[in-house]
Amino acid sequence: MTSITDSLLVIGVSDSGKSHYGGQLLIRLRKRLGLLKSAVAPDSIKGFDEVLTCLSEGKSAPHTASTFYGTVTLPLVDSVGNRIDLHWPDYGGEQIKNIRDDRLMTLEWKDRLLKSKGWLFFIRPNAARNREDIILRPTSGDDLTSPDTSQEASHENRVAAWSEQAANIELLQMLLYAKGVGSIHPVSTPYLAIILSCWDEIKLPKKNKKHPPIELLSETMPLFAEFISTNWNEDAYSVFGVSSLSKALSDKIPDEEYLDNGPQSFGYVILPDGNQDDDLTLPVARILERLI
Amino acid sequence: MPDDNVKCSREHCYVPERGEPCNEGNLDVNSCPYFRGSKAAKSANKHDRDATSGFHFPWSGNSLGLNDFSFISGRSHPHIIGIVGPHNAGKTTLLTVQYLLLSRGNISSEHKFAGSYTFGGWENLAHYMRWKGNIPPTFPPHTSSSDKRRPGLLHLSFRQTGGSLLDLALTDAPGEWFSRWALDKNDQEAGGARWTACNSDAFILIVDCESLVGQQRGVARESIERIAERLNAELADRPVAVVWTKSDIAVKEPVKNFLQDRFANLFPNHEEFHVSVKKEGGNNRITESAFKELWRWILTRKTPSVKEFLSTPPAGDDLFLIYRG
């Protein structure tokens, strides 16, 4: 049996969709509905109890506590019968934000990075659109003025003012450095799966047309997309779209369709080629193919 | 006399005397437990030290300091572009617009963006030229520097066709330095200008069209010519681009021709660019193609074959990063 202990790292700030995806992934695995299947019931799914309960009630899950970091060990079997132990984490996304903003990584996080061979990097495109600047949206009327510097921005405000793509590039630079991955040659390990989450909330130009997620990434975060393609070997990264829930859920009012059909009937993946598939395990399966 | 009670206890960390960033990566030196006199150092006990312990990154994200530069020069010869011009000429605005254009991706088919270790510096500038809801953009603030010996260095990295990395550092310096340097190259307040002249691999000379109209145009012309002559004296065959900023403002032909003739004489192989961030048809637009052409010039300058740049040993004990072959 192959043990992929701590080889998979899930990276995403708060509200990037990690917990909902993790919960739906567990449901798919347990019900053996995807390419990856659970070999036996995991010893404990305590870390995902709240997410699973909310989804079965047809509600969205609350934010994971900022200091929490827990893993669920999933004994899996792949399509050719290999047994794999997958350790799937859930944690407060503030931990990622703190690494980025405070420029300090706990030794526990560094240890996880050192062991990791595959990264799932969650980005919520609707929250990550480039801010309009003078090129995209010229000003009108009076000439540009000089800034009011009478109130200097605090460090927190200056950091918060970064564009999402700059913040995400900086985060990846920091993670690569902490892992000891050199910058001179393109990266082969860790394998990088970019997950564009909450795909259902994105307004796509034409419905019923295939939209490869890499195109959306290039449109919303072009410099980030260029950074990935420049620094990773072509066969060492993929871009997926994911809608874990298929629609927005309330945290208070149960969704009737979820109550009738169960959360396993919802959620889909947009594959790198733009095709849609209901198998939410596919992004993880892609990474695991590389790790075995 | 520097106060030993207000300095860093770590070797090769030069805060605060030289305006260098904190070697531990603390953006606020007062939160660094090694900075004597800081609140963090005064209240440091085991618990506090544990709270601040962990893995720090060797770059701060702000403009490169000498130690940051060591970090980058360990993997390639950084190519420094010195941006030279008087006060209010548009140096910082030029940098900001170049970054905003870069942020749209695919600035060059032969140079692919590979990263930056000064996103803090770039984003601080870009923030001014972005909309904040319905609050319109402004120009970025004038550059000031507590360290008169060296300009701020904003870093970008590109992967070239063929796979090699090109590390660029663009200088951001107060214009007052260059005016002083033009008058007296050994002026005590012009150390940063001397550094720029000595260490840059290529130069961008900024000519402010706005200064060349009105009653002060004679003085402005003299100032620009003086800076150009000083640059020429230090140049030693390094390439120069002359960038006319605020080019929407029409400069009288005699003034323009005089300067263009002077530049042709001083910098025989220079290229000229005319850029603007100004009103056109009721909107403030940029001359996008001109800015992009300037990117082409910046990215296609030859990289240095040999550079002895650092006289101080690199910070850190990573033998891999010390190698500069």
Q: What is the ipTM of this complex?
A: 0.90
**Residue A126 phi/psi, 5° resolution?**
-65, -25
Chain B's closest residue to A219, CA to CA, is: B104
Tokens of A240: 């997926």
User: Which residue from B minimizes the CA distance to A177?
Assistant: B57
**C-beta of residue A268 within 8 angstroms of C-beta of residue A277:** yes
Give the pLDDT confidence score for residue B1 in this predicted structure.
46
To the nearest whole Å, the CA of B54 is away from the closest chain A CA by: 5
By the 10 Å C-beta count (0-12 exposed, 13-18 middle, 19+ buried), B226 is classed as middle
Q: Do the Cβ atoms of B115 and A231 come within 8 Å?
A: yes
User: CA-CA-CA-CA torsion for A102, A103, A108, A109, nearest 10 degrees?
Assistant: 110
Q: Do B55 and A107 touch (CB under 8 A)?
A: yes
pLDDT at position B50 is: 45
Task: Let me know: does B63 contact B154? Beta carbons within 8 Å.
Answer: yes
Chain B residues near residue A230 by CB distance under 8 angstroms: 112-114, 159
Q: What is the DSSP string of A133-193?
A: BTTTS-EESSPP-----SSPPPHHHHHHTS-HHHHHHHHHHHHHHHHT--SSS-B-SSEEE
**Phi/psi of residue A13, each to 5°?**
-80, 180
Amino acid A273 reads: D
Integer Cα distance of A66 and A18 in angstroms: 13
Among B59, B39, B62, B61, smallest CA distance to B51 is for B39
Judge whether B323 is closer than 8 Å to chain A, CB to CB: no
| Confidence at residue A38, expressed as pLDDT on a 0 to 100 scale | 83
Q: What is the 3-state secondary structure (H, E, C) of B16-58?
A: CCCCCCCCCCCCCHHHCCCECCCHHHHCCCHHHHHHHCCEECC
Looking at chain A, the number of H-run helices and the number of E-run strands are 10, 12
Given CA atoms B224, B226, B228, B234 in this order, what sign does their dihedral have? negative
pLDDT of residue B17: 58
B100 touches A at CB < 8 Å: yes
The segments of chain A whose pLDDT lies below 50 read 151-152
Is B127 an interface residue toward A (CB < 8 Å)? yes
Q: Measure in Å the smallest separation between the Cα of B118 and chain A Cα atoms.
A: 9
- How many inter-chain contacts (A to B, CB under 8 Å) are there? 160
Q: Is A104 in Cβ contact with B27 (below 8 Å)?
A: no
Q: What angle do CA A8, A67, A96 make, to 5 degrees?
A: 50
The confidence score (pLDDT) of residue A39 equals: 79
Q: What is the pLDDT of residue A20?
A: 92
Please tell me if residue A209 touches chain B, with a CB cutoff of 8 Å: no
Q: Which of residues 147-166 of B touch A (CB under 8 A)?
A: 157, 159, 163, 165
Distance from CA of B210 to the nearest CA of A (A): 13
For residues A79-115, one letter each, b for 16 or more C-beta atoms within 10 angstroms of the residue's C-beta and e for the rest, the string is eeeeebbbbbbbbbbbbbbbbbbbbbbeeebbebbee
CB atoms under 10 Å from CB of B82, counted, come to 26
Nearest to B165 by CA among B116, B216, B103: B116
CA distance A59 to A92: 19
Q: How far is residue B86's CA from residue A197's CA, in Å, rounded to a whole number?
A: 48
Among candidates B57, B113, B138 on the partner chain, residue whose Cβ is nearest the Cβ of A147: B138
* d(CA B300, nearest CA chain A) in Å: 18
Over the stretch A112-123, which tens digit does the pLDDT of each residue have? 889 888 899 999
Alpha carbon of B284 to those of A134, A145, B280, B288: distances in Å? 8, 11, 6, 12
* Helix %, strand %, coil % of chain B (to 5): 35, 20, 45
Burial of residue B157, with CB atoms counted within 10 A of its CB: 0-12 exposed, 13-18 middle, 19 or more buried: buried
Cα–Cα dist B83/B245, whole Å: 13
**Chain B interface test: which of A133, A159, A187 (most B C-beta within 10 Å):** A133
- B112, A170: Cβ pair inside 8 Å? no
Asked if the C-beta of A227 comes within 8 angstroms of chain B's C-beta atoms, the answer is yes
Q: In percent, how much of chain A has pLDDT > 90?
A: 43
Cβ contact B115–A173 (<8 Å): yes
Cα separation, A181 vs A43, whole angstroms: 34
* Closest-CA distance of chain B to residue A288, Å: 27
Q: Which residues of B touch A188 (CB under 8 A)?
A: none
Select from B208, B212, B221, B280 the least CA-distant residue to B252: B212
- Residues A2/A82, Cβ–Cβ less than 8 Å: yes
Query: Is any Cβ of chain A less than 8 angstroms from the Cβ of B269?
Result: no
Q: Which residues of B touch A183 (CB under 8 A)?
A: 75, 114-115, 157, 165
- Separation of alpha carbons A59 and A19, rounded Å: 13
Comparing C-alpha atoms, which of A58, A246, A44, A174 is closest to residue B120?
A: A174
Give me the pLDDT at residue B31, please.
66
Whole-angstrom CA distances from A142 to A175, B278, B281 are 44, 10, 12
Partners of B121 on chain A (C-beta within 8 Å) are: none
Residue B310 has a pLDDT of 45
* Alpha-carbon distances of A121 from A203, A208, A237, A238, A283, rounded to whole Å: 22, 27, 11, 10, 11
Closest chain B residue to A159 measured between Cα atoms?
B120
Is B284 within 8 Å of chain A by CB? yes
Local confidence pLDDT in tens for the 325 residues of chain B:
445 556 676 655 666 655 566 766 666 777 666 666 665 555 544 444 444 568 889 888 888 876 677 777 777 788 999 999 999 999 999 999 999 999 999 999 999 999 999 999 999 999 999 988 888 888 888 877 666 678 889 999 999 998 999 999 999 999 999 999 999 999 998 999 999 999 999 999 999 999 999 999 999 999 999 999 999 999 998 999 999 999 989 999 999 999 999 999 999 999 999 999 876 666 667 888 999 999 999 999 875 544 444 444 444 445 455 444 4
Helix (H, G, I), strand (E, B) or coil at B173: coil
Which member of A106, A133, A184 has the closest CB to residue B130? A133
Cα distance from B271 to chain A (closest Cα, Å)?
24
CA B8 to the chain's CA centroid: 26
Closest CA to A29 of A197, A280, A258: A280
**A163 vs A166: CA distance, rounded Å:** 5
A134·B282 Cβ contact <8 A: no
Mutual angle of helices A164-179 and A107-115, in 10-degree steps: 80
Q: Which tokens hold the place of B206? A: 């900024």
- State residue A138's pLDDT score: 78
DSSP H stretches of helix in A70-137: 94-102, 107-115
Nearest to B19 by CA among B196, B186, B192: B192
Q: Does B60 touch chain A (CB under 8 A)?
A: yes
Integer Cα distance of B23 and B304 in angstroms: 28
β-bridge pairing B79-84 and B202-208: parallel
Select the residue of B56, B119, B286 nearest A134 (Cβ to Cβ).
Answer: B286
Burial class (CB within 10 angstroms; exposed 0-12, middle 13-18, buried 19+) of A253:
exposed
Among the partner residues A105, A145, A222, nearest to B105 by beta-carbon distance? A222
B93 Cα to chain A: minimum distance (Å)? 11
Q: What are the φ/ψ torsions at residue A261 (nearest 5 degrees)?
A: -105, -15
Predicted TM-score of the model (pTM): 0.86
